[in-house]
Structure 1
Amino acid sequence: MTTAPTPLVVVGDALLDHDLCGRAERLAPDAPVPVVHGTRRSSRPGGAALAACLAAADGRPVTLVTALGSDAASDTLRELLADRVGLVEVPLEGSLSSKTRVLAGDRPLLRLDDGEGRAREATQEAVSTIAAADGILVADYGRGTADVLRDALTHATAPVVWDPHVRGRPPVPGVRLATPSAQEARAFARQLSDGDSGDAAGLRTAARDARALVAAWRAQAVAVTLGERGALLSHGETPLLVPTPAAATGDPCGAGDRFAAAAAGLIADGALTEAAVQAAVHAATRYVAEGGARAVAVADEPETVAQPPADGDTTADAVRTAARVRAAGGTVVAAGGCFDLLHAGHVALLQAARRAGDCLVVCVNSDDSVRRRKGDGRPLVPAADRVRVLRALECVDAVAVFDEDTPERILGELRPHIWAKGGDYARTELPEQPLVESWGGQVLLLPYLDGRSTTGLARRAALAPTPTGGRTR
């Protein structure tokens, strides 16, 4: 029996974020600055509002307690949050903080900040919401919401995860988990030790800072997030390093919110802190790989998107995944094959392909396609099972099934930036190469483990003696 996710209350400062994303291919003639053209503007919840939306995307009921006012930015954010999360407002003094990023692909070039509004006071509804909560995430962005509700948070009976900000105050005593970044942990630790210096990126420094913060904040645990290196969890003694499952390149904006939201939700569900942190590292890694915060953005001018093909749910999902990552400026990688009896050579190839971009779509031959290519005795494993095994791999983001002998049709739908093939194709002319290059994509050869093949595995299995001394049939 599956238990429904525990409702979560997110307390903190909501922001309104805008992205202007385009291409930068030359410098301006009158100044050494890039010229960004072909821009698309999108808006999305930011700060605590982003954390709340990410928690809701996990399938749990979420209530956001935040400060909003009567300004235009607050009204826009209310519209973006509608039907995503419940909203409990405290009054805002001034206008809602918003930021606008100008990006070329995944690379931020400039950020513009507006609005310095701060939470003015608590309300009885906000206090009651915190008191009745089953799980709490504090996403403090230093704009006063956590401050005006500090007394209610101090007396909360639910487990509290606190994501601090250097502009804000330390967590209340007794939180289950605090989740500063390495830079934030270093800044807070300096305040405790009169300017002690150290390398914010070093594991030794992060471990020392986490230990100091556990004691100073009287927190049950502190998880220092380390970006692509994962997170370091400390209960005040020997720390636990939780590495990322795979290298993920992309826009990291909001990865800390994704980490904190995942950890808070799982702790509310009753998970051990260690298990929650490990799952949160995996969630943050996948979040970056899938386009980051822009994946939850709403375009200010909706684009016309081609409908995905109706040849199977996994294939339609693969087309949507590729379109989402491409729209966010990420790199789509595709790889293909029969993948009948998945072996170490397949896994090594797929892991290398995933590291080449921001998402990996695997194109799989259907049963009829495999039979035409390999003979009547194949496939050994039906397509539905092959798809299920591939989707279980951490490095695979989506799977598409094609029925033709070669994958040109599905490649035309996916339009990947990179079509990855094993190094054993180095001297082979690929029929799909001209198609991939027609939209500016490229074929990339990756190392392949020698001596691994499905045919070889099947032959050895067939010749293996049975317990009675015969051969398998």
Structure 2
Amino acid sequence: MKFSVVGDVLLDVDLDGDATRLCPDAPVPVVDVAEVRRRAGGAGLVASMLAGDGHSVTLVTVLSDDDSALHLERALDAVTVVAGPSGAPTPVKTRVRADGHPVVRFDEGCKPPPLPEVTPAMLHALEQSSAIVVADYGRGLTANTELRATLEAMARRVPVIWDPHPAGTDPVPGVAVVTPNLAEARTLVSRLESGADATPTAEEAARALQHRWKSNAVLVTMGERGAVLVRGAGRPALPVPAPAAVVQDSCGAGDRLAASLAVHLLERHSVDDASVLAVREAAAFLGRGGVATLACEPEPVKLRGRDTDALALARNVREAGGTVVATGGCFDLLHAGHTRALAAARSLGDCLVVCLNSDQSVRRIKGEQRPIINQRDRTELLLALESVDAVLVFEEDTPEACLDKLRPDIWVKGGDYDVTRLPETALVESWGGRCTTVPFLPAHSTSDLADALARVS
């Protein structure tokens, strides 16, 4: 049995973390992002679900050539992808979640692109299918006339499940089941009956849409209230109850339903039985946590910032079993000695935090003519280095208080220091950390560089 999924592919990004405080600028939560997950959305999500269930799946779609498309290709490594050029940027939907609950979503590149073309390989892949799921996300692929002709021909031979979109196109005639949710169904019916005053019930909407689409059945989903299946004139509607489930995030429920319908229809279940099984499986999917439970590789969070970002970075790396490395200094006028030492320090662990002397601290240590570069610019320059993940500014003359907050696993100094004589060594070792040195580059110092600049100024 070979499944094909055809339709629009999106890149879904989840930013997950904790929210324990409000932003000082507005009464909105501040989410400390602990994990970033990228996965295929839209038709890509349906294909990933079927592949995850152990089925042979071909995804027929169009793709861009941007960085987001590269993430999609990695997310779809278990799926055979037959794609033409999209001619538009990859649409990206990013959701921010705090403690598992959605906070906000922002979309990029989601405006409908020009009508995509289809390739002979795309059409050939559909013609080899045992069952087809059409995941229309309103980006124009299902409006292509060649694709529609192939889908209409295939609908006479194999089960075709069509998950519609209000901004998409009508399903082709002969589709086995069309699966709008209630809001989508009502929106689509309102376009057919522009003068109607009453809001249609789920059954009324399903019957109106089935008559227009000439599909074998329409299954309108209603969340926790289950679904209503309409199978043709003269046959009573079938209410399909949904098992009780605790749902935090309903994302992906429609994709799970469409994928399950395709499987059960291909197994020669009746449309009634397939609908009941699919609704149960969609509810179970949400009850287990929905898309958050899908296999996708979490990416380590790289917080390139200062202060609280540095502390959050250290906490996240440590909780993930990584090694937190820290080093410190004034870093006034960056030079090759600095960059080599920082790169060497970063190689010792999974993140590098620079504990940076504030302007007042540098002035007390180096004299009134220093620093040459203020702490804001010094921070920016350090963060521009690939080796530096975060900067933590401290006001004291020595870094002990800063280290006590950060608690790194490794504290690094240049090779011109003796770690046995550093005042911070005992502190770092008190929580099980260690102090070490990296090679010192002779004849490279801020003072020498400042003197050289003074001679040519």
Residue type matched to 2:76 in 1?
A: L
In the alignment, what sits opposite 2:101? 107
Alignment deviations for residues 219-256 of structure 1 (CA, whole Å, 9 cap, x no partner): 10000011111111111342111111223322110111
Alpha-carbon distance, 1:38 to partner: 4.3
Distance 1:197 1:174 in 2: 30
CA–CA distance in 2 between the matches of 1:38 and 1:87? Answer: 32
For residues 257 and 198 of structure 1, do their structure 2 counterparts lie closer, same or farther at Cα, with a shift above 3 Å needed? farther
Do structure 1's residue 272 and structure 2's residue 270 form an aligned pair? yes
Question: What is the aligned counterpart of 1:128 among 124, 128, 131?
Answer: 124
Instruction: From 258, 273, 284, give the equivalent of 2:282.
Output: 284
Q: Aligned-residue CA RMSD in angstroms?
A: 1.8
2:227 maps to 231
Aligned-partner SS, 1:252: coil
| 2: CA distance, partners of 1:248 / 1:206 | 23
CA offset at residue 268 of structure 1?
2.0
Q: Which runs of 5+ in 1 are unaligned?
A: 1-5, 307-473
> Cα distance, 1:175 vs. partner?
0.4
Q: Quick one: structure 1 residues 294 and 119, their matched pair in 2 at CA, closer, same or farther if it must change by over 3 Å?
A: farther
Structure having the higher Rg:
2
Alignment match, 1:207: 203
Q: Secondary structure at the match of 2:102?
A: strand
The aligned residue for residue 218 of structure 1 is: 214
Q: 1:294 aligns with which of 292, 314, 321?
A: 292
Could you tell me which of 86, 96, 102 is aligned with 1:92? Answer: 86
Matches of 1:81 and 1:44, distance apart in 2: 8
In the other structure, the counterpart of 2:409 is none
| Alpha-carbon shift at residue 154 of structure 1 (Å) | 1.6
Aligned to 1:322: none
Number of aligned residue pairs? 296
Equivalents in 1 of 2:211, 2:125: separation in Å?
29
Q: Distance in 2 between matches of 1:145 and 1:105?
A: 36
Work out the CA distance in 1 between the residues paired with 2:288 and 2:172: 34
Q: Structure 1 CA distance, aligned partners of 2:216 and 2:275?
A: 13
What is the correspondence of 1:238-277 to structure 2 with a 5 Å cutoff? 238-277=236-275
Native 8 Å contact 1:8 1:268 kept in 2: no
- How far off is 1:305 after superposition? 7.1
One-letter amino acid of the counterpart of residue 81, structure 2: L
What does residue 164 of structure 2 align with? Answer: 164
Q: CA deviation at 1:32?
A: 1.6
Q: For residues 331-375 of structure 1, what are the alpha-carbon distances to aligned partners after superposition, in whole Å with 9 as ceiling and x for unaligned?
A: xxxxxxxxxxxxxxxxxxxxxxxxxxxxxxxxxxxxxxxxxxxxx
Q: Which amino acid aligns with 1:126?
A: M
Q: Which amino acid aligns with 1:105?
A: D
Please give the secondary structure, in 1, of the residue aligned with 2:186.
Answer: helix
Q: Answer yes or no: is the 8 Å Cα contact 1:67–1:118 preserved in 2.
A: no
* Structure 2 gap ranges (5+): 302-316, 322-457
Matching residue within 55, 61, 65 for 1:66: 61
Contact in 2 for aligned 1:179/1:260 (Cα 8 Å): yes
Cα offsets for 1:116-155 (capped at 9, x unmatched) = 4556201101111112211110000011222222121122
CA distance in 1, matches of 2:194, 2:224: 30
Corresponding residue for residue 192 of structure 1: 192
Render the CA deviation track for 1:38-61: whole Å, top value 9, x for unaligned. Answer: 432111110110011112222211
Give the Å deviation of 1:170: 1.0
How far did residue 294 of structure 1 move? 1.7
The amino acid that maps onto 2:189 is: A
| Distance in 1 (alpha carbons) for counterparts of 2:297 and 2:222 | 29
Report the Cα distance in structure 2 between the residues aligned to 1:72 and 1:119, rounded to whole angstroms. Answer: 22
Shift of 1:67: 0.7
In 1, Cα distance between the equivalents of 2:33 and 2:168? 38
2:207 aligned counterpart, secondary structure: helix
Aligned position for 2:49: 54
Q: How far apart in 1 are the matches of 2:168 and 2:240?
A: 27
Which residue does the alignment assign to 1:140? 136
Superposed displacement of residue 273, structure 1:
0.6
Query: What does residue 380 of structure 2 align with?
Result: none
**In structure 1, distance between residues paired with 2:167 and 2:253:** 19
Cα offsets for 1:179-216 (capped at 9, x unmatched): 000011001111111153445xxxx7101000111111
Aligned AA for 1:239? A
- Does the C-alpha gap of structure 1 residues 269 and 68 become closer, same or farther in structure 2, counting only changes over 3 Å? same
1:118/1:263 Cα in 2 relative to 1: closer, same or farther (>3 Å)? farther
Q: Secondary structure at the match of 1:253?
A: coil
Deviations 1:406-452 (A, max 9, x none): xxxxxxxxxxxxxxxxxxxxxxxxxxxxxxxxxxxxxxxxxxxxxxx
Letter in 2 for 1:79: R
Q: CA deviation at 1:112?
A: 1.4
**In 2: Cα distance, 1:118 partner to 1:20 partner:** 30
Contact persistence 2:247–2:289 (CA under 8 A): no
Change (3 A) 1:28 1:197: farther
Q: TM-score, normalised by structure 2?
A: 0.62
* % identical equivalent positions: 42
Could you tell which deviates more after superposition, 278-287 or 145-154? 145-154
**Separation in 1, partners of 2:268, 2:55:** 14
Q: Cα deviations across residues 95-129 of structure 1 (Å, max 9, x unaligned)?
A: 11111111112322211111245562011011111
